[in-house]
Each structure stands twice: as structure tokens, then as C-alpha cells.
């Protein structure tokens, strides 16, 4: 069971997923660490029948110093392994690994406790008081179909319930946080004796969630409930696009609606975090001649579009190239996603 989620909420396998692009899905993709982090890494068996995913991999260079940027999907399937040779070579060339959260924080029991505390209502109010009648009725029906108590859900914040619904929907479709790309490379780094650090702290990510406005929380929960009765199309489209390395589709599906409907939220969870990361990544590049090249593994959306880390580093004068198998659909450098954002 995923650390950070109430046991009773995940007692059953919740089903369903989205049919339309929504910022709740992007929320989930960006901050999935907080509910998937406690999943233990698992071994995978090489599957020769499946082609490796086309990586969302960029190489940022300054002279002989390199920084690899790899776009992660935080839940994956056994068939998504092995990875492509390009990714293996990038890992071999890197002397250190960088993630959104450091491995020791991801594995800390404090992470689950902090997440639970942030998600609980502490002011004596109930979730029902915060929701409009249609959303509350949908939540009651959702809980009834899955044998859950609506009274239990009343003790949690709307963002927590909405995020839990979105995550559980993905796991019900066979996606496994223990197989996420981040977890995979954390284990590889540990085995190879390569140091690994985080770009931010879990407290910062939790604060982003807890700091959502009441309107944003209600919208997130309403979208999650609407999507829960779907046909898994949204998860499948995102996963397929990630496997193809299709930056344009991922940008359109994950970010476009959120940026248009909730620009302030989009800035907080994507743009401002990217802006904080870029100076740290620059310092890693500057230190590479003495400390070695680094490989950065973060949620894919952080690398895409004009607001993504890739374009921000390119704008600062670094040489940036997309690394992908020749002739693959994802062999471009992601400029389509950036151009789409500018329109």
C-alpha cells in the first residue's frame, strides 16, 4: 500500500479514470511523489516482446560538461522495462543522480505522517460543508460503489480526496508506483554507489497541496469524480505518449487546460518550481569538471514547453539536444511543445 494514503481509503481497488484533459491529472503527475514515494522498489524481468520506451531525454552541455534531463512517469508497468540504450548510456556517464526529492527523504516514514497530517481537517469542519450538492452526491455515490464510508472521507481535505481518487484510478489500471522511473533510478544509483540528491523538500511539495484555494480544491475533487467513471482513456493516452516520447501530446494533455483555467495554480506547481530548479542545475553544470556529470530525473511536465527546464536552460545559452533513437517519433527536441505554449 502506498505510504501517505489512509489505509481505509485504499482498502479497495478504486476503478476509473479520465476521459478528457484536466488539470487534476497534471496535478497528480507533478506531485505523485507524495503518495507513491513509500512504495518499495521491485525487480523487473526483461521483456523482449516490447520495444523500450522512447526516452524524454535531453543532454545539456557547456564545453565538456554535461547534464542529462530525463522526463519521468511516476507509475509504470513491467512492460515499460528495459529502458532504451540511450538512457542506459546517460546513467553510465553520470556520476551523480538528481531527483525531485532525495531518496532518503522519499524512504523516510516521516513523509507519510506529514502527508496524512496535511490532508486531515483540523478545524472541526467537514468535507460536505465545503462541497456543493452535486459534488457531494457524486462523492457519496462513488464511495457507495466501492464500499467506502462517506463519513470517513469527510475528515479529509478536498485536495487529498481528489488526489487519492486520481492516483487510485491509475493503480487500478495496472500502473505501479514501485515501477516508476524515479524509483528505478534511485535503486540503480544505490547499487552503483552514485550519490543522489533532491531539488526540493517534501515539505515544499506538501505546502503546494495544502495551499490550494478552496475553489481549486473543489474543482480538483469534482474533476477526479467526473473522470472516475471514464474508460481509462486519459491514463492510457498519457502513458502511450510517454512511451512514444511525444512531448507535444504530453504538453497538450497535461498542462494546456490547467494553464488556461487556473493560471495561478499552474505557476505555483510548475513554473515557479522550475524557476527554482534552474539555478541549481546551472551550478551542477559548472561543477561538472570536478564533480562529474549529473543525471536529473523529474516529472516529464517539468521539462516540456516554454516554461520547462529544457527551454529555460536553452535560453541561458547552453547547448541542448534531444537524445532519442534515430527515426523515432520522439527524436525531435521538444520545440513543438514550446511553440504550442506560445500560441
3-state secondary structure 154-209: CCECHHHHHHHHHHHHHHHCCCEHHHCHHHHHHHHHHHHCCCEEECCCHHHHHHHH
**In this prediction, what percent of the chain has a pLDDT beyond 90?**
53
Mean pLDDT value across residues 109-136: 91
**221-258 pLDDT per residue, tens:** 998 888 776 656 677 888 999 999 999 999 988 888 78
Cα separation of the two ends of the chain: 42
Read off the pLDDT of residues 208-221 as tens digits, 9 standing for 90 and up.
888 999 998 998 89
**Could you give the CA distance from residue 54 to residue 243 in angstroms, rounded to a whole number?**
6
278 preceded by a cis bond (ω within 30 of 0): no
Indicate the SS3 state at residue 123. coil
Q: Higher confidence at residue 108 or residue 58?
A: 58
Residue 16 scores a pLDDT above 50? no
pTM for the predicted model, two decimal places: 0.85
Of 125-129, 154-158, 300-304, 339-343, minimum mean pLDDT range: 339-343
Amino acid at each position: 500500500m502506498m505510504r501517505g494514503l489512509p489505509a481505509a481509503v485504499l482498502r479497495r481497488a478504486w476503478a476509473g479514470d479520465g476521459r478528457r484533459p484536466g488539470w487534476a491529472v497534471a496535478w497528480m503527475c507533478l506531485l505523485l511523489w507524495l503518495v507513491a514515494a513509500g512504495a518499495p522498489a521491485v525487480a523487473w524481468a526483461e521483456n523482449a516482446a516490447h520495444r523500450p520506451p522512447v526516452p524524454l531525454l535531453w543532454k545539456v552541455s557547456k564545453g565538456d560538461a554535461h547534464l542529462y534531463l530525463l522526463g519521468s512517469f511516476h507509475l509504470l508497468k513491467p512492460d515499460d522495462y528495459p529502458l532504451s540504450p540511450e538512457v542506459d548510456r546517460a546513467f553510465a556517464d553520470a556520476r551523480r543522480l538528481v531527483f525531485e526529492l532525495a531518496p532518503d527523504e522519499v524512504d523516510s516514514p516521516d513523509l507519510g505522517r506529514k502527508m496524512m497530517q496535511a490532508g486531515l481537517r483540523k478545524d472541526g469542519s467537514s468535507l460536505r460543508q465545503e462541497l456543493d450538492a452535486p459534488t457531494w452526491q457524486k462523492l457519496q455515490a462513488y464511495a457507495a460503489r466501492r464500499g467506502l464510508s462517506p463519513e470517513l472521507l469527510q475528515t479529509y481535505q478536498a485536495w487529498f480526496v481528489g488526489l487519492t481518487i486520481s492516483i487510485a484510478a491509475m493503480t487500478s489500471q495496472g500502473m505501479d508506483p514501485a515501477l516508476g522511473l524515479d524509483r528505478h533510478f534511485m535503486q540503480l544509483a544505490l547499487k552503483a554507489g552514485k550519490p543522489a540528491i533532491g531539488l526540493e523538500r517534501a515539505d515544499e511539495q506538501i505546502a503546494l497541496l495544502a495551499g490550494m484555494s478552496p475553489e481549486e480544491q473543489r474543482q480538483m475533487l469534482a474533476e477526479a469524480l467526473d473522470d472516475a467513471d471514464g474508460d481509462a482513456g486519459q491514463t492510457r493516452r498519457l502513458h502511450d505518449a510517454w512511451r512514444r516520447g511525444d512531448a507535444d501530446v504530453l504538453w497538450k494533455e497535461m498542462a494546456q487546460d490547467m494553464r488556461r483555467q487556473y493560471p495561478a495554480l499552474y505557476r505555483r506547481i510548475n513554473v515557479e518550481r522550475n524557476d527554482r530548479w534552474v539555478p541549481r542545475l546551472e551550478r551542477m553544470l559548472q561543477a561538472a569538471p570536478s564533480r562529474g556529470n549529473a543525471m536529473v530525473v523529474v516529472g516529464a511536465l517539468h521539462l516540456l514547453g516554454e516554461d520547462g527546464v529544457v527551454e529555460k536552460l536553452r535560453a541561458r545559452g547552453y547547448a541542448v539536444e534531444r537524445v532519442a533513437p534515430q527515426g523515432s517519433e520522439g527524436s525531435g527536441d521538444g520545440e513543438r511543445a514550446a511553440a504550442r505554449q506560445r500560441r
